[in-house]
Homo-oligomer: A and B are copies of this chain.
Amino acid sequence: MIEAAVAGASGYIGGELLRLLVGHPGIEVVAAGSTRNAGRRVDTAHPNLRGRTDLVFVDPDRLAGCDVLFLATPHGETMSRMRRYLELAPVVVDLTGDFRLRDPSVFASYYHLEHAAPDLLDTFTTGLPELFRDRLRTADRIAVPGCMATAAILALHPLAAADLVTGEVSIDARTGSSGSGVSAGSANLHAERSGAMRVFAPTRHRHEAEVAQATGLTARMTATGVEAVRGVQVVCRVVLRSGVDERAVRAAYRKVYADEPFVRVVAHKRGGYRLPEPKILAGSNFCDVGFAVEEGSPHAVVVGALDNLVKGGAGGAVQSANLRLGLPEGLGLEFTGLHPC
């Protein structure tokens, strides 16, 4: 059995990693690191795991070696500890923002921080199997993209790959409250956040840089926090190249995603749930993508949706790890989502 450890295991992403790994038939969790909760049972922080694990959090400095190490540690702090982490396990899957961008100057511009380990940036592979499956099979260092970036990249990828769009892309990203994390401040109290439509990043959200890096498109992202605990949705506006019609768009999506296990093309003209909706994806590893082309115009709207803690976090990480570890890609990721929910 492959042995895995999770650092930063008491946060929301850490909890999802534990949930997926505890139920994973090919991986055993041997350690859950948490500074804040060391010594406490894992199920005190993650009550959904009651009866499923007797693990106790350990101090992160006492994490022992293992086969694969997942990092759900704080953004901005992980880069300076990465060398130590790399000694702990031959395969490291990083879920923070620290190693997602290849160019340290882009990193500095978006994170307002100098990168602490710029020489390592190029050694990471983006943990997005749909774009980098082959490289992931041998990648020892994996950087899982941000939740909104994942949704936007998967939504735009077929158009970018087939070179069907021209000009810049604008992305309106909406996210549920779990994205703010378990240690969020008073602005995330229920009374403040309930029913909110909070434009928290009108311009220059960090994830737009990841979209540009992965798709080659210039992207501008506005991010809004909306009601939902889990769930990310991106609505992207694109201009199609001359001559590209809805049929060509549909063909591009089908071609790219026909055999993808975790991407569904949802682009109906009528009926309920006719475009991607994160509500029915909670807990699942699906990213649904879809589109609508404006009649008689080169304008189109592309939509992506996922669960920010699963396909946009822990699930994407496990899917990438499965590839690297030679396991079936979807192992442990079978849950299909609930309706209604």
Contact = CB atoms under 8 A, between A and B. Distances in A.
Interface of A: 12, 15, 19, 22-23, 44, 46-52, 170, 172, 174, 176-178, 180, 182-184, 186-199, 202-204, 220, 222, 224, 226-231, 233, 235, 237, 264, 266, 271-273, 275-284, 286, 288, 292-295, 297, 299-301, 303, 305, 334-341
Given A47-B339, A182-B186, A202-B301, A197 B177 contact: no
B230 A341 contact: yes
A204 B294 contact: yes
A228 B196 CA distance: 8
A21 to B, nearest CB: 12
A48 B197 contact: no
A277 B303 CA distance: 23
A153 to B, nearest CB: 18
Interface centre among A15, A23, A193, A339 (most CB of B within 10 A): A339
Given A196-B279, A237-B220, A301 B230 contact: no
A176 B196 CA distance: 10
A289 to B, nearest CB: 12
A61 to B, nearest CB: 24
Given A194-B177, A336-B52, A339-B47, A295 B230 contact: no
A176 to B, nearest CB: 8
A338 B230 contact: yes
20 contacts: A12-B340, A19-B338, A44-B272, A47-B339, A48-B338, A48-B339, A176-B195, A177-B194, A180-B191, A182-B191, A184-B189, A190-B193, A192-B272, A197-B226, A197-B233, A197-B277, A203-B300, A224-B233, A226-B227, A335-B335
A275 B202 contact: yes
Given A194-B177, A197-B233, A272 B340 contact: no
A44 B305 CA distance: 18
B305 A227 contact: no
A196 B340 CA distance: 10
Nearest to A46: B339
Given A47-B280, A198-B275, 11 more contacts: A176-B195, A177-B190, A177-B194, A184-B191, A192-B272, A194-B194, A195-B231, A203-B300, A224-B233, A224-B235, A283-B335
